[in-house]
Amino acid sequence: MPKQELLAEVIDALCCMPGVGPKSAQRIALHLFQRDRGGAENLAKALQMAVDRLGLCKKCRTLCEHELCDLCASSKRDPQVICVVESPADVWLINQATNYTGVFFVLNGRLSPLDGIGPDEIGLDKLEQQLESSQITELILATNSTVEGEATAHYIAQLALPYKVKVSRIAHGVPVGGELEFIDSTTLAHAFSGRRNIE
Amino acid sequence: MPKQELLAEVIDALCCMPGVGPKSAQRIALHLFQRDRGGAENLAKALQMAVDRLGLCKKCRTLCEHELCDLCASSKRDPQVICVVESPADVWLINQATNYTGVFFVLNGRLSPLDGIGPDEIGLDKLEQQLESSQITELILATNSTVEGEATAHYIAQLALPYKVKVSRIAHGVPVGGELEFIDSTTLAHAFSGRRNIE
């Protein structure tokens, strides 16, 4: 490739995105500057503005541009129920899929001591402050069902013990539409032990 | 999704890239602002700089930040041989794969009258000026082997007729490593009629 420095810089910079390697970065860069310069400018401005102004909500630690995110600022949300999730994307997913009306707490990660991610890195000190200062009635643990997610949920459950708050974990089981034949045995065991009476 | 306007703008803006839909855009945006804010800032700056300064080479119409691109400005390149390609990516590919030492002319597209892309839109007026004013010895047509690419090559060959310049088209045939069994019949016919004597 000849030394087209600006273009090479763009291609390098594009590689910071997940799923984009040097080949797709080249394709994207050429597309933008051959056919959609407006899109490139738009993207540059949106990214820069977000870099400058996007922070974490003071209360729930989701990505937001104000001091409090829309959910924490809303009067329609019950501040006594907190749902703990790993990422802002989970907030959107739960809001879309359920009729949950409480607030959230976003860890922005999960406990992973080997990577140097301890309780403070995922904001558990802030969660504990909230447990201390406000009247929380329920803590719903909606971390992922991975080893780290389970460990994180367990840690938070222990953390909440002294505050005598109801702690729940989202259910494990057979996905809706799933056939038993294709479900792994651990999930099936969870589904079995977590069976509910039909009333 | 709650109204996180800045993040929503970034996600919208990311969708201008080929191969990136709303789902991947959301994943990319969250990755950037949760884990790689430096990468996001870097990308914003690189894009903005390229938007501001990237133009077309005055002579060969490839994307470049100076008046002339490195190849056109180089004294090591033979300016009498011009290879016509559809995109700047093709320039890089040919430079990597061959020992071609002439210069290029980048169409930045192909003839496509139905889409309003005529000879002037792909810079053929400029190519004709070069045929008129300088001593070109050979014009190598390396447009894609698609219907539009072939039509464009044919059009340029006609255009060059009055200037008595040697016009060649890159060869069609069996790709190296390809088995005859899996080659389509048109390619095989081309390979057959384009056979060369072994000396």
Q: Cβ of A91 and B6 within 8 Å?
A: no
In chain B, which residues have their Cβ closer than 8 Å to the Cβ of A33? 50, 54, 63
A46 and A78 part of one domain: no
Q: What is the mean pLDDT of residues B167-177?
A: 87
- Confidence (pLDDT) at B134: 79
A118 lies in some domain:
yes
pLDDT band at A4 (very low <50, low <70, confident <90, very high): low
B129 lies in some domain:
yes
| CA distance, residue B179 to nearest chain A CA (Å) | 27
What is the CATH classification number for the domain harbouring B41?
1.10.8.420
Question: Chain A within 8 Å of B39 (Cβ-Cβ)?
Answer: yes
Of A190, A189, A195, A139, which Cα lies nearest the Cα of A162? A139
- Confidence (pLDDT) at A2: 46
Question: Chain B within 8 Å of A101 (Cβ-Cβ)?
Answer: no
Res B1 pLDDT > 50:
no
In chain A, which residues have their Cβ closer than 8 Å to the Cβ of B46? 6, 9-10, 12-13
A136 lies in some domain:
yes
CA distance linking residue A49 with residue A43, whole number of Å = 10
Question: Chain B within 8 Å of A50 (Cβ-Cβ)?
Answer: yes
pLDDT digits (tens, 9 = 90+) for A92-110: 889 888 899 999 999 998 9
The secondary structure element, H or E, covering residue B82 is: strand B78-85
User: Amino acid identity of B54?
Assistant: L
For chain B, what is the domain count? 2
- Confidence (pLDDT) at B173: 85
pLDDT digits (tens, 9 = 90+) for A181-191: 888 888 888 88
Res A164 pLDDT > 90:
no
Res B186 pLDDT > 90:
no
Q: What is the mean pLDDT of residues A135-144?
A: 92
Read out DSSP for A74-123?
-TTSEEEEEEEESSHHHHHHHHHHS---EEEEE-SS--BGGGTB-TTTTT
pLDDT digits (tens, 9 = 90+) for B75-91: 999 999 999 999 988 99
B78 and B137 part of one domain: yes
The secondary structure element, H or E, covering residue B151 is: helix B147-160
pLDDT digits (tens, 9 = 90+) for A18-31: 999 999 999 999 99
pLDDT band at B4 (very low <50, low <70, confident <90, very high): low
CA distance linking residue A41 with residue B19, whole number of Å = 18
- Confidence (pLDDT) at A89: 87
Mean pLDDT rounded to a whole number for chain A: 89
A163 lies in some domain:
yes
B102 lies in some domain:
yes
- Confidence (pLDDT) at B18: 92
A82 and A17 part of one domain: no
What is the CATH classification number for the domain harbouring B71?
3.40.1360.10
A22 and A74 part of one domain: no
Asked if B139 and B160 count as a contact pair (C-beta separation under 8 A), the reply is yes
B11 lies in some domain:
yes
pLDDT band at B46 (very low <50, low <70, confident <90, very high): very high
pLDDT band at B168 (very low <50, low <70, confident <90, very high): very high
A46 lies in some domain:
yes
A77 and A41 part of one domain: no
pLDDT digits (tens, 9 = 90+) for B56-68: 999 999 999 889 9
A43 and A110 part of one domain: no
A40 and A94 part of one domain: no
Domain coverage including residue A21: 5-53
Mean pLDDT rounded to a whole number for chain B: 89
A62 lies in some domain:
no
A76 and A49 part of one domain: no
C-alpha A61 chain-centroid distance = 10
Task: Give B26-33 contacts, CB < 8 A, sequence gap 24+.
Answer: B26/A89, B27/A18, B27/A19, B27/A89, B28/A17, B28/A18, B28/A19, B28/A20, B29/A50, B30/A63, B30/A87, B30/A88, B30/A89, B31/A17, B31/A18, B32/A16, B32/A17, B32/A47, B33/A50, B33/A54, B33/A63, B33/B7
| A3-17, A31-45, B152-166, range with the lowest pLDDT | A3-17
B157 and B82 part of one domain: yes
B89 and B149 part of one domain: yes
Q: What is the mean pLDDT of residues A61-83?
A: 92
Check the CA dihedral B93-B94-B95-B96 and report its sign: positive
A29 and A106 part of one domain: no
Q: Cβ of B6 and A36 within 8 Å?
A: no
User: Nearest Cβ partner of B34 from A16, A49, A108?
Assistant: A108
A161 and A79 part of one domain: yes
Percent share of chain A, pLDDT over 90: 61
Question: Chain B within 8 Å of A95 (Cβ-Cβ)?
Answer: yes
Question: Chain A within 8 Å of B67 (Cβ-Cβ)?
Answer: no
- Confidence (pLDDT) at B2: 45
Q: Cβ of B88 and A13 within 8 Å?
A: no
